[in-house]
Structures are given as structure tokens and as C-alpha cells.
Amino acid sequence: MPFDWWSEYRDVLTWVALGSAGFLVISLAALPWLLGLLPADWFSSVEPKGLFWQSHHPLVAIMVRIGRNAAGAVLLLAGVAMLVLPGQGILTILTAFVLLDLPGKRRFEIYLVRKPQILAALNWLRKRRGVAPFTVPS
């Protein structure tokens, strides 16, 4: 008798599918809010802007950096798994790259934001939140 994987893992697959749909809704709702938190000149230079936790005690900055990279690593692994499992694998991998400290990441972000279609989409999301559009030098 062949293995009936659907009936064996029906509950697990149902929860994974519901969780995936929930994360998609949360991601789509949070994106305009998160983009609205960034200042309008966020992409104006290759040097990263100072972030709010960097003005705190150095131990806080280190802990935030470690936590952010750990979360990015977990999301990267989950995103790769979601390429073959139910879920938004590509969206999760992109979120992981945003969190991870990678060499050349800032230049790549600015390269992407300078593309007119991407800048227009980001500014449309910021406009929906009532925030000034990003200013990007050409």
C-alpha cells in the first residue's frame, strides 16, 4: 500500500498554509508602515545612515546587530525551504537580505532604488502613509 502523505500530514500542512497566508497579510500590511519610518533621504548616500539604537550603549548596538543577523539567517533558511514548501520563499529571502549585514548590500540597495519603477512603487507606498517621497540622487 503506497504512503498516503496527505492524510498523514493533513493537520501540519493546513497549519503551514494558514501560517503562510497570515505572514503574507502581515507583510503586506507592515510594508508601508516600515517604509514610512525611514527618512526621505535614506537612499541619498552610499554610507548608511545612523540608526536609532546606535546612539545607545555600545552593548545595545552589538546585541541588536547580533539579533538582526540571527533573525536574517533564520529567515534565509526558512525562505530557501519555502521555495519547495508552501510559503512566500522569495519574499522571505528578500526580507532576510534586508536584515543581514552583507558586503556591498548598501550599494545594491541604492542601485535598485534608483530604478524608476522601484522608486515609483516605494514612493507610492510612502504616499499612502502620508510621508514625503524618497529623494535619490541620479
Mean pLDDT, consecutive 10-residue segments, the chain of 138 residues? 70 82 82 83 74 70 89 90 80 85 87 90 89 84
Based on the domain organization, do 118 and 93 belong to the same domain? no
What is the Cα–Cα distance from 34 to 94, expressed in whole angstroms?
Answer: 15
Domain boundaries, position 134: 104-138
Three-state secondary-structure class, residue 115: coil
Assigned domain for 83 exists: yes
- pTM for the whole structure: 0.64
* Eight-class DSSP state of 52: G
Assigned domain for 125 exists: yes
What is the reported pLDDT for 69? 93
Contact 136, 114 (CB under 8 A): yes
Assigned domain for 16 exists: no
Assigned domain for 91 exists: yes
CA distances from 14 to 79, 110, 122 (A): 18, 39, 33
Domain count, the chain: 2
Assigned domain for 46 exists: no
Assigned domain for 90 exists: yes
45 exposure class (CB count in 10 Å sphere: 0-12, 13-18, 19+): exposed
